[in-house]
Chains A and B, each alone.
Chain A
Amino acid sequence: MGRLFWKFFVAFWLASVLVGFSIFGLTWLLRWLEPDGKQSYEAERMVLALNSTAAVLGQADVAGARALLGSLVQQGVKPEIYVVDESGRELLGRTLPAADRRDWRLVGDNSYTRVVQPSGHRYVVFARQSEAEAALSKARPMPPPAAIPWIVVLLVSLGIAWRLARHFSRPIRSLRSAIRSMAEGKLDTRVAPIHPRHEDEISELGHDFNRMAQRLQQLVGAQQRLLHDVSHELRSPLARLQAAIGLARQRPDIASLELMLERIERESGRLDSLVGELLTLARLESGAGQIVRETVDLVELVTAIADDARFEAESNERQLVLEGSGEFVTFVGAELLYRAFENVIRNAVKFTQAGSCVTVRLHAGAERFTLEVLDRGPGVDPGLLEDIFQPFHRAGAGGVEGFGLGLAIAQRAVQTHGGEIGASLRDGGGLAVQISLPRTPAPA
């Protein structure tokens, strides 16, 4: 039981004990102030009947007393009232068991009374001993002792406080142990559903924790994959470098030496550009904070890239057509977007079939700039359309230059600027990449 448990427990318990005590204490006080009435209703009624009968007899009204007794008997009032005169006769002629006749004197004061009429006749008015005793002993129910409700209050509040404190502290403890195990690097940690039948804020906390854990696991997994891919990508040019050096050592004649040096140069160039692309990607992934923004016209930017790419395409028996014109001046990281557009357009030129044409279509709207790059290349598997933006994903089989970082860089650059990038398959073969960017006004 943690400290939180006891805090909840004690606070809630004290609160409910206090409330319970004040309610019970108040009612107890009220009852204490009430006039005492300890006799039972039957006893009161018996005394009343006795006194009335005695009073009527005392007025020498024997007939009235008889009528009163008769009506009491008729109404079934218990205990029955009997009246006996000095000769031992009962007023209504009822017979009495011998025991009652003999012992009525022993009964408490309230159960009989003597009446002497002005004429000198004497009567005894009484209730039967056993019945009178029963009525008199049956006191009005006593209120339970004050300790009982207090103990009940204590126990009930104890139970409720316990439940409540557990309700809060248990999920928090399970969350805590989950967070600890995450901190130890077990990223597959999840918490079991909390209060699954009664969803509340704490259950939502559990759901949020699980979502966070899943996201973290994905991110760390992606980072590890990236690191793995990077080391693999670095390894290949290094292995080729070493092979080239080995060959140069093996045949130290000038001609083959020259050939190997050329290879070594090419491989180190590759390493250099790989490292450059990785750094760009890392910068983009680490956040948008360090982007150097400037005011540029994106249409102009794309036109410049398209001109360069057209030159390259035409020297490889491919064509490039630029559609759309206008002006879209915005405040962006120009170098990043230049790279993004260049990567997408050069990719298209690289993959489009010999003799086919790459279409670069731009549209400068009022609020958005859109760019579409369409090629006639092999396209990709429809299920992998998302994956081509993953680092080191290579669309083509072997033999294609590049590390598979171009589209990944493009995607992150566009997303950093609040834009969208997507790929789709073209009718008639080939790939279409769409980029859409919002206008960012330059700060005043």
Chain B
Amino acid sequence: MKTNPKEFEKLRKLLALKRHELPPPGYFNGFSDNVIDRLQTEWETHSGIWQQVLMLFRSRPAISWSFSVAAVFVLFAATNAFDGPPSGQSETTSSLADAGNSPATASMMFSTNFSPTSFANARIMLEPIAGPGTNPEPRLDSLFSTPFYHQVQPARFQP
């Protein structure tokens, strides 16, 4: 079929009339808002709380800065609170501290030459801790009251 280019020109002019078909006035004013609203709604429905918080921080740097400053302040306050002297100590902690003050126990705790003999010494050194005012009954050795037994892990034993 042979086509006359001039006729195509007429056709193009006719088709160009379609450019006058426009949407209702003001339609484009709210178009992007609709898309953004739909994106936000969809995102809020499907994303987790952490993703939302992360997105909030990304979109609003002021909030992320405020949060960072607050976090540093809380951390600093918490560190100061734990640096002060403890108000009360448990018996075990006290015993351990007392035991640590004894030269024999200290040498036991920091010695790398652990042997069954030093193990026995350590047990003997514990007895003075139960001083006057404490329970007169003989104390049974307990794994829980002698935590310093675990302090040294010897690599060699003497036969």
Are A and B interaction partners?
no
**Chain A interfacial positions (CB closer than 8 Å to B):** none
